[in-house]
């Protein structure tokens, strides 16, 4: 077995450190936003679904589930709850009698406005000190990382199993 060179070990450690930082950053961003919206009585899953439907009205439950990377059943339960609260509504689709399109209602407008303001403040704080050029570079780099991660269809299957 060949010894690992110092350069390879340093590259490994750098990637490990970056992965750890991305994980921590994502957790902090979620937690900070969650703390900011607790007074609204909306869960992360709920506000995320409302935001998706708001930005893309008329989506089906299946498409919403794919975007949120959750099961159709979980998306259906969230949609049911938000419909019951009057924040979303389902409308029959003319092209498929089995499917419904989902839309935000007028009652969701105050939530969307408040959520948008909270998100904007959090984003301003998160990216303070970065120039437009740096934001562009960060966007390009994270897009590449996102593409790489999304290409990993089944990370568990790709992970070598320890010898038993």
DSSP string for 8-36:
HHHHHHHHHHHHHHHHHHHHHHHHHHHHH
| Terminal-to-terminal C-alpha distance of the chain | 21
Q: Check residue 158 and give its pLDDT.
A: 52
Residue-by-residue pLDDT tens, the chain, 164 positions: 556 677 888 989 999 999 999 999 999 998 998 888 888 888 888 888 999 999 999 999 999 999 998 999 999 999 999 999 999 999 998 888 888 999 999 999 888 898 889 889 999 999 999 999 999 999 999 999 989 988 886 555 555 555 54
Q: Check residue 164 and give its pLDDT.
A: 46
């Amino acid at each position: 077995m060949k010894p690992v060179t110092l350069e390879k070990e340093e590259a490994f450690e750098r990637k490990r450190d970056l992965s750890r930082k991305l994980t921590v950053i994502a957790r902090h961003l979620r937690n900070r936003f969650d703390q900011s919206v607790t007074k609204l009585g909306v869960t992360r899953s709920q506000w995320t679904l409302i935001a998706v439907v708001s930005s893309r009205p008329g989506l089906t439950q299946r498409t919403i589930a794919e975007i949120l990377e959750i099961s159709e059943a979980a998306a259906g339960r969230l949609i049911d709850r938000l419909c019951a609260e009057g924040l979303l509504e389902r409308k029959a689709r003319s092209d498929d009698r089995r499917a419904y399109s989902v839309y935000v209602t007028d009652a969701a407008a105050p939530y969307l406005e408040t959520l948008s303001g909270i998100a904007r403040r959090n984003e301003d704080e998160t990216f303070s000190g970065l120039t437009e050029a740096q934001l562009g570079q960060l966007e390009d780099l994270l897009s590449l990382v996102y593409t790489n991660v999304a290409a990993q269809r089944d990370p568990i299957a790709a992970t070598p199993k320890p010898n038993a």
